[in-house]
Amino acid sequence: MFPGRYINLLTDFGFKRVFGTEPNKALLRDFLNTLLPAHHHIAELTFHNNEVLGNTPVDRKAIFDIYCQSASGEKFIVELQKARQNYFKDRSVYYASFPIQEQAPKGEWDFQLKAVYTVGILDFVFKDHQNDATVLHQVKLKDQEGEIFYDKLTFFYIELPKFNKPLESLETQFDKWLYLFRHLPDLQDLPPLLQEDVFEQLFEVAEIAQLSRAEQESYQRSLKYYRDLTNVVNTARQEGFAQGRELERRVMAQQMKAAGIPLDTIATITGLSPSDLESL
């Protein structure tokens, strides 16, 4: 028995069902167009195999969540990342190299490339962005003057935890999509503010009752994995915070002890026991 009426878009099953299937590609197109400049808006797109091999047997392969191409040749990697990991930005750059290299035809070539876009939908915040309220980060190659040096390689990173707009405050199509990424499982019906064709299709596709038995089982496994991962991440964060607070208390106590402040006063301020203070 599933809670709620609609699937969670942050599960692997939910994300790929809504954005990674041929019958629903209008949903992916609408979402991507909220990010792209007008001259690269997608009229039609084609899905590619999301497993891309290197040029030689020793090259490592890349596996994307979604890999697609517009009718005019622009290429798009779309990935959902549920937890912070080491070298995520490095991985993004590495993955972007595959759709660049595969554009090289056999024979002579003038090296003209189509644009490549990498979209990272992140259910976490980068460590170096903790004090930055910006939700969407757009990254391009720039020179020392801050001018764009090359405009055919773009990375979009969306830090979902920073998006906190309530339903009544949604202004743009991008806002609406981020709201649904965060709150679709909590909704029971399509809100009036979202009553447009693309979201009507989304709500129809995402309704749990419309899934086959096999799809419901797949979704249940995906949802369990997502919840387990979320719990692990939250526990690690809480433990890290607790350890940091303990270290902070001990450092403060050491400094107060060195300054000659009475131990009972230090114990009252820091919450450390007399035996802890003696051992410092």
In this predicted structure, what is the pLDDT of residue 60?
Answer: 57
DSSP 120: E
Indicate the angle between helix axes 263-270 and 213-258, nearest 10 degrees. 160
Domain that holds residue 111: 12-210
Low-confidence residues in the chain, pLDDT < 70: 1-3, 52-61, 233, 236-244
Identify whether residues 141 and 228 lie together within a single domain.
no
Identify whether residues 139 and 266 lie together within a single domain.
no
In this predicted structure, what is the pLDDT of residue 154?
Answer: 97
pTM: 0.80
Q: How many domains does the chain have?
A: 2
Q: Which residues contact 211 (CB under 8 A, 6 or more apart)?
A: 7, 219
- 6 falls within a domain: no
Identify whether residues 170 and 274 lie together within a single domain.
no
In this predicted structure, what is the pLDDT of residue 273?
Answer: 82
Identify whether residues 261 and 135 lie together within a single domain.
no
- 148 falls within a domain: yes
Q: Which residues contact 92 (CB under 8 A, 6 or more apart)?
A: 79, 118, 120, 155
Identify whether residues 189 and 71 lie together within a single domain.
yes
In this predicted structure, what is the pLDDT of residue 49?
Answer: 80
Residue that terminates a domain, selected from 193, 210, 227:
210
In this predicted structure, what is the pLDDT of residue 152?
Answer: 95
Identify whether residues 113 and 155 lie together within a single domain.
yes
Beta bridge partners of 75: 69, 116
Distances 208 to 23, 189, 192, 214, 220 between C-alpha atoms, Å: 17, 13, 21, 12, 10
Identify whether residues 225 and 255 lie together within a single domain.
yes
Identify whether residues 173 and 71 lie together within a single domain.
yes
Identify whether residues 185 and 231 lie together within a single domain.
no
